[in-house]
Amino acid sequence: MALDGTTVAYNYNLTDKQFHMISAAPTNGVPVRSIARDRSARAGGSYQGELIAFKEHLSPDRRAYLQRYLMWKWFGEGTEPVYTNSASALRVANGGTLSFAGAPTVSVPAISGTGTIAAGNVVDVSSLAFDFPDARTYGQLTVNGTLTLAAAGTVSVTVGAGAKEPGDYPLLTATSLAGGDLGNWTKSVSNDSKLGATLVVQGNTIYLRLTPRGTVLILR
């Protein structure tokens, strides 16, 4: 089979028996049964401990994770690795739910929308974006898991002309909010309402605070 140049082989000699782990990425279609036949009938009667085949090329990080996992599983090297899922951005729209089975760690720079993200950990977040048309139609984003903020980032909110009632409105709530201080982030508020708008963090929730513009005098 033709290879893409990323063949990786590990050789171990345990109790006078030779063990190999081979990782290869063919550039053409290769039937899995032909690999099994070649490794036994044509390679001195060797045995296979485990054979994993994928119909598509793996990303470099997923490939590296599988190599580390098999080294740990078969040869006891290192500790069991934890795979981190990654994406460039996640957006939950219209109150939907985005669930990751097994509560994994998800690395994603930007999240936005309304609804629920269910994962064990959402890490490396450096961009947050929210829309607040008015108090009746807006929806918040909920993270069922730990949301870890980067040391620096940007958070933006668009306040519509329909926002007329002062108050604190939750934009994002996480089971646990960790990492960088949102106070050090760059904040951008596009405000078409007649109210003043600021962002406030209390506990594990990010609020949009709407206040009357101008000066308020209280006479007693």
97-115 pLDDT tens trace: 999 888 888 999 999 999 9
Residues 41 and 92 in one domain: no
Question: Are 60 and 88 in the same domain?
Answer: no
Q: What pLDDT does residue 1 have?
A: 45
- pLDDT surpasses 50 at 194: yes
Q: Determine how many CB atoms are found less than 10 A away from the CB of residue 125.
A: 23
More confident of the two residues 56 and 92: 92
Same domain, 32 and 94: no
Are 141 and 113 in contact by the 8 Å Cβ rule? The answer is yes
- Please report, for residues 118, 215, the alpha-carbon distance to residue 218 in angstroms, rounded to integers and kept in the order given: 46, 10
- Higher pLDDT: 40 or 198? It is 198
| Angle 174-179-183 from CA coordinates, rounded to 5° | 90
pTM of the model: 0.67
Confidence of residue 80 (pLDDT cuts 50, 70, 90): confident
Report DSSP state, residue 26. B
Going by the DSSP 8-state scheme, the letter that residue 58 receives in this structure is P
Same domain, 90 and 44: no
pLDDT of residue 64: 84
Give me the domain span that covers residue 69: 8-75
CA–CA gap between residue 21 and residue 1 (Å, rounded): 17
Same domain, 38 and 94: no
